[in-house]
Amino acid sequence: MMDEQKTKRPVARLAILLGLSTALAVGPVSAALAQASDAPQEQLPSFAPMAEKVLPAVVNISVVEKAGTSPVVDEDDQDDQDDPSQQFGPGATPFDDMLRHFFEQQQPGRQAPGPKQQMMALGSGFIIDPSGYVVTNNHVVGDAAKVTVVFQDGSEHKAKIVGKDAKTDLALLKIDAPKPLPFVQWGDSDKERVGDWVMAVGNPFGLGGTVTKGIVSARSRSIDNSSYVDYLQIDAAVNRGNSGGPTFDLAGQVVGINTAIYSPNGGNVGIAFDIPSDTAKAVIDQIKANGHVDRGYLGVEIQQVTPDLAAALGIAKDGPQGALVAAVTHDGPAAKAGVKVGDVIRQVDGKPIAKTRDLPRIIAETAAGKSVHLSVLREGKPVELDATIGHLDEAKLASADGSDAQTDDAALGMTLSPLNPSMRSRLHLAHDATGAVITHVENGSAADSIGLEGGDVIEKIDGQTVHGPDDAKSLFATAEKTPSKPILLLVDRHGAKSFIALPQTPDAG
C-alpha cells in the first residue's frame, strides 16, 4: 500500500500541473496540443528481421599471437601510473589519449617462472563471399601465429591471412568452406546521413552475436592522424571485442567497420568510429586480388590552408580550402607536372579538396599510371596542370606525409645565421639546402607567438628564396612596409617543411 501511494503522488502532482497549464492556455495553444495528440505517432523500426538475416554471416575472430610479440596494451591499463603532466606529447590532445583501437585480450593467469605463454585476442569479422572470405581489422590479427574464425553455432575454422593494410586498419582472411557460406553485401556509405539508423554486430567481451543499434552521429571524422580514411561516427554501443565487426544500414548492408572508440575508461560512452564501406571495399578488393594494396603517389608535402595562410597567400576571398604545397619531391610526378612550392591544390579531376587530408586519400585511391587534372592556385591565380600518378613506394612516403655572421630582426624577435656544412649536418638538411637558420627567438616576440624556435631554417619569405641572413633581413624590411599583412614563411624544421603565417605584432599571433 505504501508503495502504491509513493508511485501515485507524482502522477497526481503532474495531473494538477497539467490542469493548471490547460486552464491558463489560450485557444491556439490548446488547439495545437489537441492536434499534436491526434497526430499518428511514427513507430521506431524493428531490427529483428535484419538481425536474423545478417547474424549468420558475422563471426568471432580468435587470435594467438606469435611468441615474443609485444601485445597491444590498452591505454586505460596505464592511466593510473602516468604523470598527468606527461600524458600528451607534442600535438597530442586528450581526445588522442582516449582514442582506442579495441579488441578483447586475454592473458594467462600467473604461472611459475618460465617461458612466456602466448597471448590470446578476440575480435569480430564478417563474411563477404560464400567461398569463405572474412573481413576484420588489421589490429585484430596483428602478427598472429594462429587465427581461428568462430561461427554463431560454435563451429571453428582455421583461417589464413590473405593480406593486411595498416594504413586503413583492414585485413582479409580466408577459410576453407565445405559448402557456400552465408554472407553480407557492401552498402554505400556515401549515402549515409547524420541521423540515419544503423546496427552494429560483434563479439564484445567475448559475447558473440551481440546486436546494438544507434544512429550516424557525424561524418568525415579524422582520427589517428590518418590521411586515408574519413571515419563515420556512430553512437551504437561498441566495446572491446567489437573490433572488425560490421555496422549495417536498414537494408542490411555493411556501411562501416567498427574500428575505434573514444573512451576515458575503456568502455562504451556512445562515440565509436567506423571505416566507411566505400573505403573498405576498395581496399579489400585490392587485397583479394593482389594480397596487398597499391597506392598512387604524387610527390608533395602538404599542409592545411588556415585563414592566416590564406591571407598571406592572397587567396582569402577563396576561403581556407585546399592543400598547400610545402615541398615537391625532386623528379616526382608533381614536379614533372609543374607543381611548385606555394601552390594550393584545389581539385583533382574535379573532386574538391575541402580539407588537406582529402588530397592524399584521393591520390592514394588513384591507380599508378593514370593521368589526373590538377586545379591549383598560384599566387592567387588559377593554374591547370596534368600529372601522371606514380606508384607509392613505402620507402618514399609523402605526408598529409658561409660565414658565421649573425643578423638580428628586433621587430620580429629573431636572430638569424647562415647555413654551413656543419649546421646542415646537425639539422639533418640536404647538403645544398639554402636559407637562414634561427639561432635565437626572443620571448614574447612575434616569432615566439607562432612557435618558431632555434634550429628552424627560413627558406622563403613571401615566396622569395632566402640565401642567407642578409636576404632575410631585406625581405623582412620589404614585408614590414605593409604591417597589416602577415608574412608568409616557408620553414624547414629538421627536414620537415611547412608554411607559417608570421604576424608583425605578437598580439596578432
Q: What is the mean pLDDT of each run of 10 residues along the chain (509 residues)?
A: 41 32 38 53 79 91 67 34 30 40 47 47 88 91 84 89 88 90 92 92 84 90 73 88 91 92 73 90 89 85 82 74 85 90 90 85 85 90 91 46 49 79 70 82 79 86 88 87 88 84 66
Please report the pLDDT score of residue 398 as a whole number: 29
Give the residue carrying C-alpha cell 599583412: 485
pTM of the model: 0.59
Query: What CA–CA distances, in Å, run from 488 to 58, 311, 441, 475?
Result: 53, 9, 18, 11
With contact defined as beta carbons under 8 Å apart, do 126 and 274 qualify? no
- Residue 184 region, left (φ>0) first, then alpha (ψ -120 to 50), else beta? beta
Instruction: Identify whether the C-beta of residue 416 lies closer than 8 Å to the C-beta of residue 466.
Output: no
Active site residue 243: yes
**171, 179, 183, 264, 461 from 125: Cα distances, Å:** 10, 19, 11, 25, 52
Judge whether 393 counts as a catalytic residue: no
Partners of residue 170 on adjacent β-strands: 165
Q: Which of 348, 340, 386, 393 minimizes the C-alpha distance to 366?
A: 348
Pick the catalytic residue from 124, 217, 227, 243: 243
Look at the alpha carbons of 476, 482, 486, 489 in this order and tell me if their dihedral is positive or negative.
Answer: negative
- According to the model, what pLDDT value does residue 321 have? 81
Burial class for 49, CB neighbours closer than 10 Å (0-12, 13-18, 19+): exposed
Give the burial class of 457: count Cβ atoms within 10 A of its Cβ; 0-12 exposed, 13-18 middle, 19 or more buried. Answer: buried
Which run of H or E residues covers position 366?
A: none
Q: What is the pLDDT of residue 24?
A: 28
**DSSP helix/strand/coil, 238:** coil
pLDDT value at position 268?
73
Cell of 95: 581526445
Strands 144-150, 156-165: pairing kind: antiparallel
Question: What does each C-alpha distance from 275 to 59, 136, 137, 289, 364 come to in angstroms?
Answer: 18, 11, 10, 20, 16
Write down the catalytic residue from 62, 124, 165, 169.
169
| Residue 440 cell numbers, joined | 635565437
Catalytic-labelled residue, pool 101, 139, 157, 189? 139
